[in-house]
Chain A
Amino acid sequence: MDIGFLGQYVVNGLMLGMMYSLVAVGFTLFFGVLDIIKFSHGDVLMVGAFAGLTTFFGLEAIGIESAWIQLVTIVVVSCVLTGILGSMIGKYLVLPLKSAPALNTLLITLMAGTVLRECIRLFFPDGSNPKPFPSLLPSESYSWGNFTLRLDSLMLLIFGTLVIVAISLLINKTKLGLAIRAVAQDGETAKIMGINFTLVVIVTFAIGSGVAAIAGIMNGLYYNEINFDMGLLLGVIGFSAAIVGGLGNIYGAILGGFLFAGLQTFGAVALPFASAYKDVFAFAVIIMIMAWRPTGLIAERTSERV
């Protein structure tokens, strides 16, 4: 195969992997603090993308034309909005079920996701059809033979990396991060040490959801289109990535995200059968990995307390 095409696929795969990783980081954060899976995450992402689109229309309406101001405002507004949404889901749906079986939490967040999805479909103007997302990033591209590097992809990749670095600094270097890690390790003991458990959980939900909004906007900018059910598959893929990497571990989530994107790209390009089977291939490999490493690639440190 031509080296240029190969480079193209690598960049596409990296782009996908970046989005999946950002979603997976959210899953892993929620799992860390509460040992739960918040399945509405994909739909929160979708709401973030739609909030971004609405902000864009609002800015256009009041006459702010500068792409950079628009971009920054969109990111900030939709991060804040989804942050609030995520923490509300955490406070009113997840925390009340803390002592219920894990299945109930999973189902209640799934249903919350359904409600969000249906709300956008029914109440957003013409919400059941795909919406064009404005391309706010510079559209120049550089070509070397068959290899074309779009400047916007490069910027999205850099931005995504910065977000991941920021999250990992937040978790590992700040006082808030210390509190989050303490709650993740042992909620009861953290409470005894004077950490406000509920607050930490809610803040973690806000952070994770904000990151999802960034992934949603990246998705919109990259494909120039958003859709009311885009969150469903992205959520499941993000969840798979978080699980395959090993829940509760941010680096595992990132590894899982890029691994899934790699599998999809490999399935589309290198396998003898039609590229339509790429998702079938990726999910089949995921099932096999789960059979091989039942608690993910970077295993969670657990002990059975009897």
Chain B
Amino acid sequence: MSNKIASPSLPISLAVIALGTAFAILFLGAENEYLIGSLLVFVTLAVVASSKFNILNRMYATFAVHEVLMQAAIVVATLLLVAWFYDDHFSLLMITAAMVYAIAAIGLNIQFGYAGVLNFAGAAFLGIGCYTSAVLGQYTNLPSMLILCLGGLVAAVIGTILILPVLRTSGHYAALVTIAFSILFKTFLEVNDVLGGPQGLNVKPTVLFGWNFNTNIEIRDEFEASFYLCYALLALFLLALAFIFTRRLERSWIGLSMDSIRLDETASACYGLNIALWKSVAFTFGNFLIGVAGAMYGQMLGYVAPSNFTFGDSLILVSIVLLGGIGNPWGVITAASIVILLPEKFQIIQEYRFLLYGIVVIFILLYRPKGLLPRQLRNYLPGGMKA
């Protein structure tokens, strides 16, 4: 489908983003189960209809030509969404959680979307970030932003233990290494008393320029905003940063090397690429991003417990990347929103959500194995191919 030539169209793309934002506001604000259900039916029909009119490909083309403008449009749309729900704790919490998961999934995407390094321990590295921010917040007086960075750094450093086995093994054998680590990590946290055991630890909130993020924003009794607003803005900032960075990475010759290594190790080695180096770089940097996401998540939730970081949660992260389309950060962000928001919003299926979730992933793998938004061909020239 992506081979069809589609002409870029700015108005259509902006209209789609505007419609998407309006839909997100309606969806998050909907209280009634029937309304949510009919909204879901509507969006499914809309997606089917838009693929009939080739709109997705035209969006791809527009993104390639007007990249900065489109990215700015999406940021503005997210800001609008956050502003709309400025006093709604629950909606803001969900939006922020989706963004945090998107950051972590972008980290994972660098690992196996670009360099092809499998990581089934995503939740473990998320947990390392969380626990780092808990411990550092408790025992030191470091500024919150530094703790975020350190959360990522600790995750990256602990990840280096796995580099040797990950590099030496391949395929299913490599999968085992990270799966084993994932289970090891959770079991370790549960039996370890220093880190709170099964009860976990409390995490200090984020403090920036003396402003404690856990206080509601009030302006002379007339205006009161949820304290999650700050976290949502922080998450958006971090997500934008992570996004820009992976985009630069993908465009650069480092990204090119990683792509080549993923596609054919033997051929890449023949052309003189240092396979071990780029795989380790991808693995470490991915873990860093996941750790940062974890540290921020911990500060927002205020507590951390081992039950949030099971092997099942790692699988959710992997399926976010697969659902979105391996290697495409936009797809990853879309999938993170779907996977996080849908079950929270659809309370009627709360009990059945893992079941439905499993069935949905099975169908996607059978009928759309490249994910919702597959990665496009590499754009060698900035500004798209102007034939």
Chain A residues lying within 8 Å of B11, measured Cβ to Cβ, are: none
Residues of B within 8 A of A288 (CB): 165
Stretch binding the partner chain, chosen from B26-34, B223-231, B281-289, B358-366 = B358-366
A296 touching B173 by the CB < 8 A rule? yes
Do the beta carbons of B355 and A97 come within 8 Å of each other? no
Q: B168 touching A108 by the CB < 8 A rule?
A: no
- Stretch of B64-72, B180-188, B295-303, B333-341 on the interface side: B180-188
* With contact pairs A118-B355, A122-B351, A236-B179 given, residues A112 and B168 touching in the complex (Cβ less than 8 Å): no
Residue numbers in A under 8 Å from B5 (CB-CB):
none
Q: How far, in whole Å, are A159 and B175 apart by their CA atoms in the complex?
A: 32
Question: Given A107-B365, A243-B173 in contact, is the A291-B355 Cβ separation under 8 Å?
Answer: no
Does B169 reach chain A (CB closer than 8 Å)? yes
Q: Is A306 an interface residue, CB under 8 A from the partner?
A: yes
Q: Give the chain B neighbours of A284 by CB distance below 8 A.
A: 180, 184
What's the Cα separation between A42 and B380 when bound, in Å? 46
Q: Which residues of A contact B136 (CB under 8 A)?
A: none
Chain A residue with minimal CB distance to B112?
A103
Q: B361 contacts which of A37, A111, A286, A306 (Cβ < 8 Å)?
A: A111
Contacts of A97 in B (CB 8 A): 365-366, 369
Q: Which of A162-170, A212-220, A275-283 lies at the binding interface?
A: A275-283
B351, B365, B366 pick with most chain A CB within 10 angstroms:
B365
Q: How far is the CA of A180 from the CA of B318 in the complex (A)?
A: 32
Could you tell me how many residues of chain B have their Cβ less than 8 Å away from some Cβ of chain A?
43
A37-B172 contact given A115-B355, A118-B355, A283-B184, CB 8 Å threshold: yes
Cβ proximity bits B287-318 to A, threshold 8 Å, 1 near / 0 not: 00000000000000000000000011001001
Across the interface, do A283 and B358 meet the contact criterion of CB distance under 8 Å? no
A111 partner residues in chain B, CB cutoff 8 A: 319, 358-359, 361-362, 365
Establish whether residues A291 and B165, one from each chain, have CB atoms under 8 Å apart when the complex forms: yes
A118 vs B179: C-alpha distance when bound (angstroms): 21
The residues of A that contact B49 with a CB separation of less than 8 Å are none
Nearest A residue to B354 via CB reads A118
A103-B355 in contact given A96-B366, A290-B173 (Cβ < 8 Å): no
Q: Which residues of B contact A277 (CB under 8 A)?
A: 187-188, 191
- B362 in contact with A236 (CB, 8 Å): no
**Complex CA–CA separation, A239 to B354 (angstroms):** 23
- B170 contacts partner chain A, Cβ-Cβ < 8 Å: yes
A69 contacts partner chain B, Cβ-Cβ < 8 Å = no
CA distance A93 to B366 in the complex (A): 8
> CB of A11 within 8 A of chain B?
no
A260 to chain B, nearest CB (A): 11
Least CB distance from B372 to A in Å reads: 14
Q: A31 an interface residue at 8 Å Cβ cutoff?
A: yes
The answer to whether A108 touches B183, judged by C-beta atoms less than 8 angstroms apart, is no
Establish whether residues A112 and B162, one from each chain, have CB atoms under 8 Å apart when the complex forms. Answer: no
CB of B177 within 8 A of CB of A107, answer: no
| A-B CB pair tally, cutoff 8 Å | 126
Give the distance in Å from the alpha carbon of A229 to the alpha carbon of B222 in the complex.
52
Instruction: Judge if B266 is at the interface, Cβ distance under 8 Å.
Output: yes
| Complex: chain A residue closest to B351, CB-CB | A122
Q: Is the CB of B365 within 8 A of A104?
A: yes
Q: From known contacts A122-B355, A294-B170, infer whether A110 and B315 are also in contact, taking CB-CB under 8 Å.
A: yes
In contact, A31 and B172 (Cβ under 8 angstroms): yes
- Asked if A287 lies at the interface with its beta carbon under 8 angstroms from chain B, I say yes
Is B1 engaged at the interface, CB distance under 8 Å to the other chain? no
Chain B contacts of A239 at CB under 8 A?
176, 179
Contact partner of A243 (CB less than 8 A), chosen from B168, B172, B191, B315, is B172
In the complex, the answer to whether B354 meets A114 with C-beta atoms within 8 Å is: yes
Question: In the complex, what residues of B have CB within 8 A of residue A276's CB?
Answer: 190-191
Bound-state Cα–Cα, A228 to B176, Å = 23
Chain A residues contacting B169 (CB-CB under 8 Å) are 290-291, 294-295
Closest residue of chain A to B355 (Cβ to Cβ) is: A118
**B210 interface residue, CB < 8 Å from A?**
no
**Separation in Å of the A81 CB from the closest CB of chain B?**
20
CA separation between A63 and B181, bound complex, in Å? 49
Closest B residue to A109 by beta carbon equals B362
Q: Is the CB of B170 within 8 A of A287?
A: no
Whether B180 lies near A286 (C-beta < 8 A) is yes
Which residues 98-115 of B have a CB within 8 angstroms of A? 112
A97 to B351, CA, bound (A): 30
* Contact partners of B148 in chain A: CB under 8 A: none
- For residue A304, CB closer than 8 A to chain B, the reply is yes
A202-216 vs B, CB cutoff 8 Å, 1 = contact: the mask equals 000000000000000
Residues of B within 8 A of A274 (CB): 191
B322:A104 contact, CB within 8 angstroms: yes
- Closest residue to A114 on the B side, CB-wise? B358
Nearest B residue (CB) for A288: B165
Q: Report yes or no: B358 in contact with A107, Cβ–Cβ below 8 A.
A: no
Closest 8 A-B residue pairs measured CB to CB? Answer: A276-B191, A291-B165, A118-B355, A114-B358, A283-B184, A115-B358, A294-B168, A111-B358
Query: What residues of chain B have their CB less than 8 Å away from a CB belonging to chain A?
Result: 112, 118, 162, 164-165, 168-173, 175-177, 179-181, 183-184, 187-188, 190-191, 266-267, 311-312, 315, 318-319, 322, 351-352, 354-355, 357-359, 361-362, 365-366, 369
Chosen A-B contacts, 11 in total, with CB atoms closer than 8 Å, are A104-B322, A108-B362, A108-B366, A110-B315, A122-B351, A233-B183, A236-B180, A240-B176, A290-B168, A290-B176, A290-B180
